[in-house]
């Protein structure tokens, strides 16, 4: 009774820097788990132990602050925005911290930054340029596509959503409106997540309800999409025939295209219908493809229950046509209830229905042939015979890229449907009588179901035969598809996660002690079956047993148990220390090697809290926060070097057979294939990452300027390799098993800086970040080389990963005289195939011939993540207007021109317009006419690898890419509160948003998006999007 009598009740209001009430601010009695949160009006009520209690005010995206209760019973507190600042609240592994006490390298982005990105379909698309150390590349722009993101270029990261480990697919397909914050754990801080965390961790926290009245929020937008860039080709038949004649004369020394015939193509349709032109680019591309998104969420609560319920729908159409569609619907429901004094229960439910639908097309990429139609089809070819839409034109070898058949009516249909449900249940108990001790239990159940149906039809193609004096016109069937395809795939994934946690957090004067112990069990099960048939009719969507010819049935299962311990210590808000250890066991390894222990330790020192520094600064606000931190952690990994599969097949350490290696239907009976497993693999265990990070966090001018600097190094040991000094007779029939014998390292730095201020009615912020990360090989097992060249060319020790090799180009021949007198044999034929404008390769070893021994390292690695990533943002607000701009960029990666980007008239197709700027004769039909210079060597018709200009790799066709892209530009207007109050609304904001509107880069001249990863430019490019939308709150 005496203890209860000492308790006091405090109330208050939390405001932002302009005085507006702040909802969802957590108010905690320091050193305890006693907490509440502010309602939509920014107000709170909390009963605390007494007048000596200290209130801690925290909210994601704002600097934390503290106030002693004393004799005050009402508080009016202003909170400053602290995006990435020292006071920001950060969600870390199995807990939260204020950033001023964090001793590891972390970065956080909040909902206010994510919700203004309205171009991408997935969460990863919203992160470009926003987080230091996160490398970003958007290689694909098809509906529903995701970005490639890595943490410090270390490989595929682990994703943790509301405390549960997930995969990239679940992360990407969350609704951005439902995300409260995303935190990146980049160094030893990831060690607490154990297996799969060696490449860093992406921690996602979804939104929760705020105490106060119920609030209904609406966010909706609609927009139009167009490609950023795509290679252009000739669109006029005369141009096509002219450049083709030139290329044939250069390559074959003859052509069937006469000057008289060219003149008819110049006249066009006036000379006859066969001389017309057809623009395939205009025919294939759908300008202003639509997209739209709607989110409605309700949140609220009281001191007993709070809730957040949300529904989102996203629809995207494709620039390739209306039959290429993506649709996703999300639901999110988070509820927390106080069922007894000190006892809370909660549930998080996330559901998703996702549908992709497009024409059924031969090959693995149903978007490829549509893009190929733009690059390959010539302006002389037309989609329909005699322009009659009832008869598909037989375009010969180009028939498969005739866009007229790429629709659900003629080619078929592919539809894939995902049904996903994630449920998390938790219970938390504040143990009575032990202040600061909390027990927590979590159980998660995840089920995902994929049903994919694909049917590719047979169809006919025709050639038009005009009427004559004796015969009528005819549409003759001369081609088409006669191989029907029907397949159905079903995948079901069930994951469960059970956690038991013990948390202790207590302040003793200036000492703050914390401890966490977690036991975690993860169980994943996946089943898949796939059926293929050859139906006898396009009208039979069902799969009948007599038409089946292939069947696959698979099942995989894995389970892991981990134990985690962590202790933290802080003194006087000045010194911080954290140590953790995790014990993991993996079923992949042989007994005796299945268990691993992985420790981590970190420390931080806030120098500005030292008495001598305070005396030195003398109250100056030039330097208000300065913290030095360092960390070291070891992480085990049972995944491969890229993090996208197991390091070794399950039970590979056991002798036996691999079953279910395919199924065939023979005489109506299913026969399953089995194979001997080979030599047992018994020398593979954990791949270990040892990560060191040293960083500085600082704040200046009372938090208006904040920043951080980090240097990091990761050394991986235990990478797989094979001992090449052990000879295995061929007669055995098996290769020597791999072992953990190689190592590599990644090293780099990152820097971020942000300024936030207010001048009169203007509020503004500007910030930026840059990061560099590069990987190199360290050791390989006892390499053996035949000679010094072999060692120079193939010894990867102490070399950067991803180096390409090729010739160095010194210039281009200017005349036949120079070719005839040139002493170095470039083409292997005494330079007899060379023409003015052809490439001159450097003879590195002086042997007067160009061969493999003249190759040298070129470029940074084709198709890799950028080594340098950077981004900056700008925000302005004036009265009821606001403007935001986000930019991101990258450099230090390589694009190689190839295929349609290197060879003129590749596969007898059209000509990329970049090759109109080429060396050529002034009169293409006169071999004695003067040569006119250009950028590219003389065109040769479909030469492919058969000429020295195009076959070998060289730095002429290599481009080290650098770009800066305007990711988001948004202008908004909010209706004044006085007007809204009459309509009983809290907020009404309307905005115009532009996404990917322009890019400054060195790829524009090639018609290539700078983030593209393939070598012919045929990858589906990104979209630039223009949206209009509104945010409403009731």
**pLDDT confidence of residue 3:** 44
- The residues, any chain, with a CB within 8 Å of residue 26's CB and separated by 6 or more, are 35, 36, 37, 57, 58, 59, 89
What dihedral angle (degrees, nearest 10) is formed by the CA atoms of 113, 117, 123, 124?
A: -90
The values of phi and psi at residue 262, to 5°, are -60, -35
Count of CB atoms within 10 A of residue 760's CB?
A: 6
CA 715 to chain centre: 24
Rounded-to-integer distance, Cα 457 and Cα 473, Å:
28
Local structure of residue 359 (DSSP, 8 states): E
pTM equals 0.85
Rounded-to-integer distance, Cα 519 and Cα 665, Å:
47
Local structure of residue 187 (DSSP, 8 states): S
Are 73 and 8 contacting, i.e. CB atoms less than 8 angstroms apart? yes
Please return the burial class of 671, using the count of CB atoms within 10 Å of its CB with bins 0-12, 13-18 and 19+.
exposed
Count of CB atoms within 10 A of residue 19's CB?
A: 7
- The residues, any chain, with a CB within 8 Å of residue 846's CB and separated by 6 or more, are none
Task: Summarize pLDDT for 73-114 with one digit per residue, the tens.
Answer: 999 888 876 544 444 667 777 777 777 788 889 888 888 888
Local structure of residue 1005 (DSSP, 8 states): G
Per domain, the residue ranges of the chain are: 1-80
Are 100 and 86 contacting, i.e. CB atoms less than 8 angstroms apart? yes
Rounded-to-integer distance, Cα 964 and Cα 856, Å:
29
Rounded-to-integer distance, Cα 652 and Cα 668, Å:
33
Give residue 942's region: left, alpha or beta (phi > 0; psi -120 to 50): left
3-state class (DSSP) for residue 793: helix
Please return the burial class of 725, using the count of CB atoms within 10 Å of its CB with bins 0-12, 13-18 and 19+.
exposed
- The residues, any chain, with a CB within 8 Å of residue 961's CB and separated by 6 or more, are 866, 890, 891, 893, 894, 895, 1001, 1002, 1003, 1010
3-state class (DSSP) for residue 901: helix
**pLDDT confidence of residue 81:** 62
From the candidate CATH numbers 2.60.40.1120, 1.10.510.10, 3.40.50.10680, 3.40.1280.10, the one assigned to the domain spanning 1-80: 2.60.40.1120
| Count of positions (residues) in the chain | 1034
Q: Which residue in 849, 847, 840, 798 sits closest to 955, CA to CA?
A: 840
String of DSSP letters for 237-250: HHHHHHHHHHHHHH
Count of CB atoms within 10 A of residue 842's CB?
A: 16
Q: Which residue in 310, 303, 302 sits closest to 330, CA to CA?
A: 310
**Strand segments (E) across 177-304:** 179-185, 201-206, 212-227, 289-301
Alpha-helical runs (H) found in 495-634: 611-617
Which residue is listed with tokens 């996702």?
354
CA 328 to chain centre: 18
Mutual orientation of helices 259-267 and 237-252 as an angle, nearest 10°?
A: 160
> 789-802 burial string, b = 16+ CB within 10 Å, else e?
eeeeeeebeeeebb
**pLDDT confidence of residue 2:** 41
Q: Which residue in 149, 324, 290 sits closest to 773, CA to CA?
A: 149
Low-confidence ranges of the chain (pLDDT < 70): 1-5, 17-20, 60-61, 81-89, 545, 1013, 1015-1017
Local structure of residue 908 (DSSP, 8 states): G
Which residue is listed with tokens 């649709």?
327
End-to-end CA distance of the chain: 43
Alpha-helical runs (H) found in 837-929: none
Please return the burial class of 272, using the count of CB atoms within 10 Å of its CB with bins 0-12, 13-18 and 19+.
exposed
String of DSSP letters for 621-670: SS--EEEEEEEEEEEEE-B-TTSSSBSS-TTTTS-SEE----EEEETTEE
**pLDDT confidence of residue 85:** 46
3-state class (DSSP) for residue 453: strand
**pLDDT confidence of residue 520:** 94
Which residue is listed with tokens 């290599």?
958
* Residue 926 tokens, joined: 């006169």
For 627, 696, 697, 698, 704, the CA distances from 606, given in Å and listed in that order, are: 4, 10, 9, 9, 18
**pLDDT confidence of residue 88:** 60
SS (H, E, C) 27-83: EEECCCCCEEECCCCCEEEEEECCCCCEEEEEECCEEEEEEECCCCCEEEEECCECC
């Amino acid at each position: 009774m005496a203890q209860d009598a000492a308790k006091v009740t405090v109330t208050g209001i939390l405001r932002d820097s302009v005085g507006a009430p702040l909802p969802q601010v957590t108010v905690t009695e320091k050193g305890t788990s006693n907490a509440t949160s502010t309602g939509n009006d920014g107000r709170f009520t909390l009963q605390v132990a007494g007048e000596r209690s200290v209130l801690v005010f925290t909210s994601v995206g704002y600097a934390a602050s503290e106030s002693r209760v004393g004799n005050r019973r009402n508080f009016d507190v202003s909170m400053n925005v602290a995006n990435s600042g020292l006071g920001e609240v950060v969600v870390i592994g199995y807990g939260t911290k204020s950033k001023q006490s964090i001793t590891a390298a972390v970065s956080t982005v909040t909902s206010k930054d994510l919700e203004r990105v309205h171009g991408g379909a997935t969460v990863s698309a919203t992160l470009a340029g926003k987080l230091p150390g996160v490398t970003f590349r958007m290689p694909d722009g098809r509906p529903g596509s995701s970005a490639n993101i890595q943490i410090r270029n270390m490989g595929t990261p682990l994703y943790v959503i509301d405390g549960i480990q997930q995969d990239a697919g679940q992360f990407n397909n969350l609704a951005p409106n439902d995300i409260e914050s995303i935190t990146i754990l980049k160094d030893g801080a990831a060690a607490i997540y154990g297996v799969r965390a060696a490449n860093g961790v992406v921690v996602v926290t979804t939104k929760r309800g705020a105490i106060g009245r119920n609030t209904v929020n609406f966010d909706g937008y609609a927009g139009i999409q167009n490609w950023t860039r795509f290679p252009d080709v000739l669109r006029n038949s005369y141009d096509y025939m002219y450049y083709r004649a030139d290329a044939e004369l250069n390559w074959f020394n003859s052509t069937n295209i006469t000057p008289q015939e060219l003149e008819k193509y110049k006249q066009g349709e006036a000379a006859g219908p066969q001389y017309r032109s057809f623009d395939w680019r205009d025919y294939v591309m759908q300008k202003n493809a639509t997209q739209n998104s709607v989110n409605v969420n309700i949140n609220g609560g009281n001191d007993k229950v709070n809730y957040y319920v949300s529904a989102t729908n996203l629809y995207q159409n494709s620039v390739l046509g209306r039959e290429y569609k993506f649709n996703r619907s999300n639901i999110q429901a988070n509820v927390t209830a106080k069922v007894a004094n000190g006892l809370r229960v909660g549930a998080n439910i996330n559901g998703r229905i996702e549908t992709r639908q497009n024409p059924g097309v031969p090959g693995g990429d149903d978007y490829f042939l549509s893009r190929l139609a733009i690059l390959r089809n010539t302006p002389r070819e037309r989609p329909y015979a005699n322009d009659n839409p009832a008869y598909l034109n037989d375009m010969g070898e180009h028939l498969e890229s005739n866009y007229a058949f790429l629709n659900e009516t003629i080619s078929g249909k592919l539809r894939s449907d995902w049904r996903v449900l994630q449920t998390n249940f938790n219970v938390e108990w504040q143990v009575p009588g032990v202040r600061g001790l909390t027990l927590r239990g979590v159980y998660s159940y995840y089920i995902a179901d994929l049903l994919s149906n694909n049917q590719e039809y047979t169809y006919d193609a025709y050639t038009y035969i005009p009427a004559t004096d004796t015969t009528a016109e005819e549409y003759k069937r001369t081609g088409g598809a006669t191989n029907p395809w029907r397949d159905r795939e079903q995948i079901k994934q069930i994951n469960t996660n059970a956690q038991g946690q013990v948390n202790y957090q207590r302040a003793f004067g200036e000492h703050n002690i914390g401890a966490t112990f977690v036991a975690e069990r993860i169980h994943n099960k996946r089943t898949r079956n796939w059926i293929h048939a050859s139906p006898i009719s396009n009208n039979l969507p069902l799969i009948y047993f007599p038409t089946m010819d292939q069947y696959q049935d698979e099942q995989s299962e894995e389970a892991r148990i981990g134990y985690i311990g962590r202790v933290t210590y802080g003194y006087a808000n000045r010194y911080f220390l954290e140590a953790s250890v995790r014990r993991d066991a993996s079923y992949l390894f042989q007994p005796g090697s299945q268990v691993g222990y992985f420790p981590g330790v970190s420390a931080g020192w806030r120098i500005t809290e030292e008495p001598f520094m305070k005396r030195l600064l003398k109250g100056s606000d030039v330097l208000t926060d300065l913290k030095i931190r360092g960390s070291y952690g070891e992480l085990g990994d049972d995944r491969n070097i890229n993090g996208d599969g197991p390091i070794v097949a399950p039970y590979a350490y056991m002798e036996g057979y691999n079953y279910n290696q395919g199924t065939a239907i023979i005489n109506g009976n299913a026969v399953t294939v089995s194979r001997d497993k080979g030599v047992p693999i018994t020398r593979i265990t954990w791949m270990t990452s040892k990560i060191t990070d040293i960083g500085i966090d600082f704040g200046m001018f009372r938090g208006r300027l904040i920043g951080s600097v980090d240097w990091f190094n990761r050394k991986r040991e235990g990478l797989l390799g094979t001992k090449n000094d052990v000879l295995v007779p061929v007669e055995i029939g098996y290769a020597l098993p791999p072992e953990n014998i190689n190592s590599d390292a990644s090293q780099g730095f990152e820097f971020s800086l942000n300024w936030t201020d207010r001048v009169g009615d203007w509020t503004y912020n500007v910030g930026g970040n840059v990061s560099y990360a590069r990987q190199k090989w360290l050791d390989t097992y006892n390499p053996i080389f035949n000679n010094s060249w072999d060692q120079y060319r193939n010894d990867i020790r102490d070399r950067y990963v991803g180096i390409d090799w090729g010739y160095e180009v010194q210039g281009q021949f200017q005349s036949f005289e120079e070719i005839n007198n040139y002493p170095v044999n470039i083409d292997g034929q005494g330079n007899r195939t060379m023409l003015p404008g052809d490439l001159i390769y450097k003879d590195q070893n002086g042997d007067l011939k160009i061969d493999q021994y003249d190759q040298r390292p070129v470029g940074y690695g084709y198709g890799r993540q950028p080594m340098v990533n950077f981004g900056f943002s700008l925000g302005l607000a004036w009265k009821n207007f606001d403007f935001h701009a986000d930019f991101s960029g990258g450099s230090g990666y390589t694009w190689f021109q190839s295929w349609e980007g290197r060879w003129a008239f590749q596969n007898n197709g059209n000509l990329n317009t970049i090759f109109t700027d080429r060396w050529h004769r002034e009169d293409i039909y006169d071999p004695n006419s003067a040569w006119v210079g250009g950028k590219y060597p003389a065109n040769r018709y479909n030469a492919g690898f058969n000429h020295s200009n195009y076959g070998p790799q060289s730095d002429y066709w290599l481009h080290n890419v650098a770009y800066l892209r305007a990711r988001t530009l948004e202008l908004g207007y909010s209706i004044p509160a006085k007007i809204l109050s009459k309509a009983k609304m809290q907020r009404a904001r309307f905005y115009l948003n532009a996404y990917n509107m322009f890019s400054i880069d060195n790829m524009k001249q090639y018609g290539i998006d700078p983030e593209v990863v393939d070598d012919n430019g045929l990858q589906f490019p990104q979209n630039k999007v223009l949206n209009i939308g509104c945010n409403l709150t009731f």
